[in-house]
Homo-oligomer: A and B are copies of this chain.
């Protein structure tokens, strides 16, 4: 492909040119102490201290993001954040990612390198490295990010260990990204003032990477990140653990930014809190005697675990959509 314009496309750079440009843009984000071999060979090689958590997540244009709503760097941040949140929710430390990039031929090459820059920034923030990838052509941008986490000497925290008597603790944001999505979907003419913080949250989740391992050390019995919505994700915990979970409505944190967005959009923020994903806050269950350290993580107790099944709010089943479904 011969490129004559000022702004080369992905196809114009070609597979190897694009890969070179991406690796240059990653810079030191391709390295970390545990990385024995970074990008450029058949595979990368890493040396974890303990067992390895692994999870793959996809971000597809038009379904998980829009190029007119999010910058390329935003998309890179989000793709990495949502994948790393899954290994953090096991109590593991972020270690590395590899990314499969399916890209339209006419996508500006600069979009790709800026997206890679967002991936690099988020990996640095998490203490992880971008160690490999693959590029191929597709009709829309589709990113598949596999995250690896290091369990170290801490036993992984599954969804299945919650016990009656445990408390439910939330660390991180709740309802922010859903509020931001609502603002964008409503076509709010200007994104500023009351709406800017939540729209930014929709574009770039503020994943609390340190909190996962910290909750595991405190003795979390179960943990998930909120990706499908609080009710849906706690439903997974209740089912896997064979317990009932009751949330206290009054304990659910409504951040001033979320309240302001609800006022600006003249709506009730509760559905954002209960069914909004994409903030990737962590929800863990802990025995009451393990709660002392939760405040240091800016965690709040939002509910209790009891014998039984299902998730309730102030004792009642909540009707309506349980969260985002991908099909």
Show the binding face of A for B, using Cβ within 8 Å: 1, 10-11, 13-16, 18, 36-37, 40-48, 51-58, 60, 63-64, 85-87, 89-90, 92, 96, 98-100, 102-103, 105, 131-140, 142, 144, 146-149, 151, 156, 158-160, 223-225, 240, 325-327
Copies per complex of this chain: 2
Contacting pair B63 A132 (CB below 8 A): no
Q: What is the minimal beta-carbon distance from A86 to any residue of chain B, in angstroms?
A: 4
A137 and B132 alpha carbons, distance in the complex (Å): 24
Give CA–CA (A11, B63) in the complex, Å: 14
The reply to whether B54 and A98 contact each other, CB–CB distance below 8 Å, is yes
User: In angstroms, how far is the closest chain B Cβ from the Cβ of A59?
Assistant: 8
Contacts of A54 in B (CB 8 A): 43-46, 96, 98, 131-132, 146, 148
The verdict on A326 contacting B156 (CB below 8 Å), with A54-B146, A58-B100 known, is no
CB distance from A115 to the nearest CB of B (A): 15
| Complex: A46 Cα to B159 Cα, angstroms | 17
Give the CA-CA distance A82 to B140 in the complex, in Å. 23
> Of A47, A52, A85, which is in contact with the most chain B CB atoms at under 10 Å from its CB?
A52
Interface contact B146-A45, CB-CB below 8 Å: no
In the complex, what distance in Å separates the CA atom of A36 from the CA atom of B155?
A: 10
State the CA gap A51–B49 with chains docked (Å). 9
Q: Which of B10, B56, B89 contacts A146 (CB 8 A)?
A: B56
Contact at B132–A224, with CB atoms within 8 Å?
no
Q: What chain B residues lie within 8 Å of A144 (beta carbons)?
A: 56, 58, 100, 102, 134, 144, 146
Chain B residues with Cβ below 8 Å from A140 are 138-139
CB-CB under 8 A for A136 and B58, given A156-B45, A159-B42 = yes
Could you tell me if B57 and A134 are in contact, using CB atoms closer than 8 angstroms?
yes
Contact A18 to B327, CB < 8 A, known contacts A53-B44, A58-B134, A134-B57: yes
How distant is the Cα of A37 from the Cα of B133 in the complex, in angstroms? Answer: 25
Chain B residues within an 8 Å CB radius of A10: 327
Q: A18-B327, A138-B140, A327-B13 are in contact. Are A57 and B146 (CB under 8 A)?
A: no
The answer to whether A51 and B47 touch across the interface, beta carbons within 8 angstroms, is: yes
Interchain CB contact under 8 A, A148 and B15: no
Q: Which residues of B contact A11 (CB under 8 A)?
A: 327
Among B36, B92, B134, B240, the residue within 8 A (CB) of A43 is: B92
Q: How far is the CA of A190 from the CA of B15 in the complex (A)?
A: 35
In the complex, what distance in Å separates the CA atom of A35 from the CA atom of B171? 29
A46 to B140 alpha-carbon distance, docked (Å): 33
CA–CA, A224 and B42, complex, Å:
7
Q: Which single member of B44, B47, B100 contacts A100 (CB below 8 Å)?
A: B100
Kindly report which residue of chain B lies nearest to residue A100, judged by CB atoms.
B144
Q: Which B residues are CB-close (under 8 A) to A18?
A: 327
Residues of B within 8 A of A55 (CB): 42-44, 98, 132, 134
Identify 22 residue pairs between A and B in the complex whose beta-carbon atoms are under 8 Å apart, listed by A's number.
A10-B327, A11-B327, A40-B240, A42-B55, A43-B90, A43-B156, A45-B54, A46-B51, A46-B52, A46-B54, A48-B52, A54-B131, A56-B144, A56-B146, A60-B138, A63-B136, A63-B137, A64-B136, A98-B146, A100-B144, A134-B144, A137-B327
